[in-house]
Amino acid sequence: MRMSKLFGLTLREAPSGVEVASHGLLLRTGFIRQLAAGIFSYLPLAKRSIGKIEKILREEMDAAGGQEMSMPVVQPAEVWERSGRYTATGQELVRLSDRRNREMVLAMTHEEIVAGLAAGEVDSYQKLPRLVYQIQTKFRDDQRPRAGLIRAREFTMKDAYSLDRDEAGLDRQYNTLHEAYFRIFARCGLPAIAVGADVGIMGGSMAHEFMYLASVGEDTILICDGCGYTANRQVARFRKPIAEAEEQRPIEKVSTPGANTIESLARALQMPESRTAKAVFLVAMVDGSERFVFAVVRGDMELNETKLANAVGASELRPALPEEVRAVGAEPGYGSPLGVEGAHVVVDDTIPASSNLVAGANVEGFHFLNVNHGRDFEADTVADIAAAGDGSLCPECGNAMRAERGVEVGNIFKLGTRYSEALGASFLDSDGERKPVVMGSYGIGVGRLLACIAEEHHDEDGLTWPVSVAPYHVHMVAAEVGEVAEGLYEGLVSAGVEVLYDDRRESLGAKFKDADLIGAPIRLTLTPRSLQKGGVEIKARLSPESFVVPIEEALAAVRKEISDLEAELSPGDSTTPASRESLA
């Protein structure tokens, strides 16, 4: 490709509002252009890189036994109603009506459709197992799109679905895809780890997320370097400090003016925060209706809303309004479960084991001393609802864990029979019984993966693409050597080498800057000076050194450079365990 013909301009500076390096660089290189919040056009350079990522995805999915197919993105709402996700999913699911006023959705994922297809295509255990996948554009109306392609509303996803006769079969396919994902990310040059995760609206019994650890990520990952335990903070377990046992003392109301936070309360009463009870007021959406939830954790801990949502079966949580808090008999800043009515009280599992806590008196400016669960109030639900953080003790070995930020680039779910039972996907087993198909779901965001590769592979001058996903392997810069340069370019292209040839009427300095910005792995420079030195100069994008070879040896030298770079991306052993959490 000649740069004089390339559609898309390079920019000297990133536009205003850019938050992360990958977003700015993909804009500056002319890879992407933004149409609206979270909605992007992919220009030719990006399409070439995306095409290479999709080729890797297809190769690894096919090797895992997958069959590619394509399913509709516009789907009847009735299908989602049958699975229960139509009402359980929030506003990120786009709902619309067709010209006949039939309710439709823009699908974010295709579990319902696959289950419906299985109902018609799988009638016997002899048709199982199966693995199908697609690479398709989807739309999720995220209320907070950010960081360019890392959190977009319209995106391309590789989504795969396994169909099995039993849990053992699901375990085998789950493990196979788990290993395939590590090979995919290794081939793309992206370091990734797998962590235990929340199943969310997908449902099922188990999920793992594949995380690229980076400061731009919105997820917090807890990692134990001692034993290898890793988990998303949403579900991370940890060893909680055990309160010292003591006799229960009589409850006592005390004046605490202005102590409407745990920090100010502990300071006013000169006691550790671990001796206080923290109240959090939320409204949960459960089975399509709202329910007031009164959550209590120990004052030295934070509430984990994902754990809380799972504990009460909520599809959504929102902060309660002051008037809603007072309607159940509590007081913002001074609340406790004592005397409240019409609330679902959920306490962390440390609360029953902690004696004589300080809790709100549900009157402004007052607290109770010596509040005890079981004597002064009873919880509707006792569960682990506390959030792990940096320094929390590993649940497996007890070592302190570290917290890292991460971007989710892939996920795998053990769905079980939730969708097959809802959509009627069953088969006749070898024992003559009809049984529901056991399903799994496996996703990778293609655009997000491209952005994370850019985030990982760049320097102060621009992108430094891995050879496997670079739009072109070679960036050729020439000056004042027209016929020689043309001959070299044509010869490389004829031999199958991917070359981006800068034939523009620009200075050599400007061409070099664009070459570094676009980030092809190899740069060829052909100038009168290089010819005086013996031929064409070859320089790897990440090497400070260059060398000159005769024109007639350029093809062999380029091929060797590409081969060496490809060897560096060999996946190697892809069976590294995700975490201490068993995949089975």
Tokens representing residue 82 in the block: 């049958």
- Count CB-CB contacts under 10 A for residue 553: 14
39 & 78 share domain: yes
pLDDT of residue 44: 97
| Overall number of domains in the chain | 3
User: What is the mean pLDDT of each successive set of 10 residues along the chain, which is 584 residues long?
Assistant: 94 88 96 95 97 98 97 95 87 93 94 96 96 96 90 95 96 96 96 87 79 93 93 93 88 94 94 94 89 95 94 91 95 93 95 94 95 95 95 95 95 94 96 96 96 96 97 94 90 96 92 96 94 93 94 95 91 48 48
The most distant pair of C-alpha atoms in the chain lies apart, rounded to whole Å, by 96
500 & 437 share domain: no
Tell me which residue of 472, 514, 519 sits closest to 11, measured CA to CA. Answer: 514
pLDDT of residue 203: 66
169 & 30 share domain: yes
Residue 383 lies in a domain: yes
Residue 227 lies in a domain: no
180 & 262 share domain: no
Residue 13 lies in a domain: no
pLDDT of residue 371: 96
445 & 344 share domain: no
What proportions of the chain, in percent to the nearest 5, are helix, strand and coil?
30, 30, 40
Tell me which residue of 532, 457, 536, 449 sits closest to 489, measured CA to CA. Answer: 536
Residue 326 lies in a domain: yes
**Neighbouring C-alpha atoms within 13 Å toward the C-beta of 206:** 17
Domain assignment of residue 159, given as a range: 21-206+410-455
449 & 471 share domain: no
- What b-and-e string marks burial along 382-405, b requiring 16 or more CB atoms within 10 Å of the CB? bbbbbbbbeebbbbbeeeebebbe
pLDDT of residue 202: 66
Instruction: Find the CATH number of the domain harbouring 331.
Output: 3.90.960.10
In contact, 356 and 249? CB cutoff 8 Å: yes
174 & 27 share domain: yes
98: amino acid identity, one letter: D
Rounded CA-CA distance 310/312 in Å is 6
174 & 154 share domain: yes
Residue 195 lies in a domain: yes
Residue 233 lies in a domain: no
Residues whose CB falls within 8 Å of the CB of residue 459, separated by 6 or more in sequence, listed in order = none
339 & 306 share domain: yes
Instruction: Find the CATH number of the domain harbouring 39.
Output: 3.30.930.10
In contact, 465 and 69? CB cutoff 8 Å: no
Residue 507 lies in a domain: yes
295 & 200 share domain: no
129 & 181 share domain: yes
297 & 440 share domain: no
Residue 529 lies in a domain: yes
Rounded CA-CA distance 523/158 in Å is 32
Write the DSSP assignment of 135-184 as a string of letters. Answer: EEEEE---SS-BTGGGB-SEEEEEEEEEEESSHHHHHHHHHHHHHHHHHH
Rounded CA-CA distance 473/538 in Å is 12
